[in-house]
Amino acid sequence: QAGVDAVDGASAALAGTTSQPALSSIVAASDHTERATGLDLTAVNDLEPYWEAVRRVYAPFESGLPAPTGRVYTHEIPGGQLSNLRQQAIALGLGQRFEEVEAMYAAADRLLGHLVKVTPSSKVVGDLALQLVGAGVDVAEFAAEPGRFDLPDSVVGFLRGELGDPPGGWPEPFRTRALEGRRAAAPPAELSDDDLDGLAKEPRRTLNRLLFPGPTAEFEAHTDSYGDVSVLPSKEFLYGLRSGVEHSVDLEPGVRLLIGIEAVSDADERGMRTVMCTLNGQLRPVSVRDRSVTSEVQPTEKADRTDPGQVAAPFAGVVTLQVVEGDPVEAGAAIATIEAMKMEAAITAPRAGTVRRVAISAVQQVEGGDLLVVLG
């Protein structure tokens, strides 16, 4: 009765669960009323087979929610974040504990003051939930002494006010306790002449680099190595080439490549296979690493969580060490950073001491609980 400017709907093939209600249902329900949409129901329905086919291609990225659920009223995870959060949890080794992640999301939201959850504030809540579940931290203990625990960079930035002031005010005394002992934020950097020039000539690329430097660097490195993979059809990009089938790729209007796969060799001692491909009818050998081949590398040592001198990885990711053996460290000083699935956090020393042993290389992929450093 109050009126509305716009109503979101989705094709029935994609509707429900974490998405919008079915557009065809809205059109049919409002037809022959004063609120008729003016859309043709038959035309709307004609779009559904296409989106059904698209959904089958992208099935591996489903949210894992087979039907509507009332749990959303408990955890309050936005629909657009739920599928991403599940993929993050899987990457961090927490895929089988997603119900714990949902419960921790609600607890993290309460600690942070019940935020208005849209990007990037929803990411703050999700990052904290994943961190606490991965590290096995008790919520009550964390709420009482948050300064003792490592926090994702997004959470620290939020508490410092980098996203502005939340409408409900700051969660005190949690905020003060969490920031206690952490280094003050660096002042915002001034835009250089190159930045200003880039904003005028290539605004999208420059904004990506300024706002998301890490992901942008990874994307550009991938593009430099493999070219613009967006021209590949979705099936070939996600599932690979099929033997005996010639695949066409349009690089630009009038430029088409015909690609096929002829044979694949056995893996050598390094796990490399030679893939014989055809490119416009010409044979091309390509060396590819088979990641399913069992590695001979010894598993990383696990940390003893009862020993306060052993520093463990809080979750799976790439760790970059900032110390070497013999370095003195203060309690709360950063000894490493860890990055995984758009989430970055500092790993700090639980107490003062000297680095007695480093258990991993300077930059290494680790699993949650792996031993990183031993303090003496």
pLDDT at 370 over 60: yes
Structure-token match 């504030």, residue found: 121
pLDDT at 299 over 80: no
Domains of the chain: 1-57 (no CATH), 76-179 (1.10.472.90), 193-226 (no CATH), 229-289 (3.10.600.10), 310-375 (2.40.50.100)
pLDDT > 90 fraction of the chain, expressed in percent and rounded: 62
Helix axes 79-91, 121-135, angle to 10 degrees: 30
- Give the model's pLDDT for residue 298: 60
What is the mean predicted confidence (pLDDT) over 19-29?
A: 94
Query: 248-287 pLDDT, tens per residue?
Result: 999 889 999 999 999 999 988 878 899 999 999 999 999 8
Predicted confidence band of residue 297 (pLDDT cuts 50, 70, 90): low
Predicted confidence band of residue 54 (pLDDT cuts 50, 70, 90): very high
C-alpha dist (Å) from residue 221 to 119, 123, 202, 317? 25, 25, 18, 19
What is the mean predicted confidence (pLDDT) over 167-188?
A: 87
Predicted confidence band of residue 60 (pLDDT cuts 50, 70, 90): confident
Predicted confidence band of residue 130 (pLDDT cuts 50, 70, 90): very high
C-alpha dist (Å) from residue 314 to 22, 74, 93, 170, 375? 40, 26, 11, 27, 17
Give the integer Cα–Cα distance in Å for 95 and 86: 7
Query: 336-357 pLDDT, tens per residue?
Result: 999 887 788 999 999 999 999 9
SS3 (DSSP) at 4:
coil
With a CB cutoff of 8 Å and minimum separation 6, the contacts of 366 are 300, 313, 316, 317, 318, 319, 338, 360, 372
